[in-house]
Structure 1
Amino acid sequence: MRVGTWNLEGRWSEAHLELLAAQECDVWLLTEVRDDTSLPGFGSHFTVARMGERRHWAGVFSRSRIEPLPDPHPASAAAVVMGWVWCNSVLPWRTCGTEPWGEGTTSEKTSRALEQLMAGLTVGALVWGGDWNHAMEGREYAGSLAGRTAIRSVLADRQLQLVTRGLPHCIPGLFTIDHIAVPKAAEIVGVTRVVAEGRRGDRLSDHDVYTSELALG
């Protein structure tokens, strides 16, 4: 199966749909999702909370039957697909403010969000992704090094492998902050970064698209 993640930056058009369709994913973990985002042949589930008037924090889209779960955190959507829990999260960034993160430094907000998020998810059978606002190696641009350490701890506790760890960001010299993590037992066939451009070379988002082909077992 193929799974992908993309921060749509609250945008939606035929060009966005065309780029998504071309990746032939079975499950999409889309963040900053406008409320009219729709993929033909896919069921969907969005966070109740919104970033803005028409923008949800996150959504899970699937070709297979989707069973929505309560949001484990206001900025995370979760659903059961094919017997697995799929969670899509936006995590704090340096200029994120306090809603829905609370007060504190970036690392404190990240640790708090992770604690709430993982407390709301069942143990095992988890695929987790989205815009984590943290590179997992190299220079840290959007998040914090302490936040990166906290995310790594969660990945280890949940026995997840991060398939996007070494992929580049659209900004040269940086690594991606958009991620897909799957169980360590899963077989990873391939991982791809897709530049988020339309046919005329125009940027469709300030984030690129990341996909992985895998066998969950």
Structure 2
Amino acid sequence: MRVGTWNLEGRWSQDHLALLAAQECDVWLLTEVRDDTSLPGFESHLTTAKMSERKHWAAVFSRSQIQPLPDPHPASAAAVGMGLVSCSSILPWRTCGTVPWGEGTTTEKTSRALEQLMAALPVGGLVWGGDWNHAMEGSEYAGSLGGRAAIKNVLADRHLQLATNGLPHCIPGLFTIDHLAVPKSAQIVDVTRIVAEDLRGDRLSDHDAYAAEIALT
């Protein structure tokens, strides 16, 4: 199974489609998804809530048939397919405001969002990813160290391993804030950072994409 994540930054074009198609993923956990985003041969489920008029918080796209689940959080989409629950999430960042996060520090907002998410998601049989706005090591640029610790605790509680651990951000010297977590029972065969540029070298998003091939037991 090959699963990927990418923050589309609310953009969509044939170049975006070409980049996604070239990775040959079975499941995409996309964030900041414009409402006309479409992948031929994929079923999709987008969050009910939107970041803006035409931009959904997150979406799950799958080559296999999926059964949409109620959004476990306004900024997360989840669906059942291929024997797994796939969840795509945006988590709070330093300047995120209060909607849909509530009041408090970045750590408090992140912990609260995680608590709501995990109340709705299963223990085991879960693939979870998206733009978490937290690096899992090194300097913390977008999130908070307390938020990072809360995410790591959730990964341990849900028996998940982080496939994207140690991969670089598109900003030199930083680690990725876009992540893929898969069951600890799965073997991570390969994980790749995909530079989000078109053939002319122009950026397609301010985030790179990431994909992991896993073997499920």
- TM-score bracket, normalised by the shorter chain, equals over 0.9
Q: Distance in 2 between matches of 1:72 and 1:194?
A: 28
Structure 2 counterpart SS, 1:71: coil
Q: Which amino acid aligns with 2:54?
A: R
TM-score when normalising by structure 1: 0.99
* C-alpha deviation, 1:122, in angstroms: 2.1
Q: How many residues align?
A: 217
Q: Which amino acid aligns with 2:114?
A: L
Q: Counterpart of 1:30?
A: 30
Q: Distance in 2 between matches of 1:154 and 1:175?
A: 20
Q: Counterpart of 1:172?
A: 172
Q: Distance in 1 between matches of 2:208 and 2:180?
A: 13
Q: Distance in 1 between matches of 2:159 and 2:124?
A: 8
TM-score when normalising by structure 2: 0.99
Q: Deviations over 1:78-116 (max 9, x none)?
A: 000111101110000000000000000000000000000
Q: Counterpart of 2:19?
A: 19
Q: Which amino acid aligns with 1:159?
A: H
Structure 2 counterpart SS, 1:59: strand
Q: Counterpart of 1:66?
A: 66
* C-alpha deviation, 1:120, in angstroms: 1.1
Structure 2 counterpart SS, 1:107: helix
Structure 2 counterpart SS, 1:12: coil
Pairwise CA RMSD: 0.5
Q: Distance in 2 between matches of 1:210 and 1:140?
A: 19
Unaligned runs of 5+ in 2: none
* C-alpha deviation, 1:139, in angstroms: 0.3
* C-alpha deviation, 1:191, in angstroms: 0.3
Q: Distance in 1 between matches of 2:83 and 2:213?
A: 18
* C-alpha deviation, 1:123, in angstroms: 2.1
Q: Counterpart of 2:194?
A: 194
Q: Deviations over 1:6-34 (max 9, x none)?
A: 00000000000000001010100000000
* C-alpha deviation, 1:36, in angstroms: 0.2
Q: Counterpart of 1:47?
A: 47
Q: Which amino acid aligns with 2:70?
A: P
Q: Which structure 1 residue ranges, 4+ long, deviate > 6 Å from structure 2? A: none
Q: Deviations over 1:166-211 (max 9, x none)?
A: 0000000000000000000101110000100001000000000100
Q: Distance in 2 between matches of 1:122 and 1:194?
A: 29
Q: Which amino acid aligns with 1:118?
A: M
Q: Distance in 1 between matches of 2:203 and 2:165?
A: 23
Q: Is 2:123–2:159's contact at 8 Å kept on the other side of the alignment? A: no
Q: Deviations over 1:39-82 (max 9, x none)?
A: 00000000000000000000000000111000000000000011
Q: Distance in 2 between matches of 1:9 and 1:166?
A: 23
Q: Deviations over 1:111-149 (max 9, x none)?
A: 000000100112221110000000000000000000000
Q: Counterpart of 1:77?
A: 77
1:1-217 correspondence to structure 2 within 5 Å: 1-217=1-217
Structure 2 counterpart SS, 1:6: strand
Between the aligned residues of both structures, percent identity stands at 81
Q: Distance in 2 between matches of 1:147 and 1:115?
A: 12
Q: Which amino acid aligns with 1:98?
A: T
Q: Is 2:131–2:178's contact at 8 Å kept on the other side of the alignment? A: yes
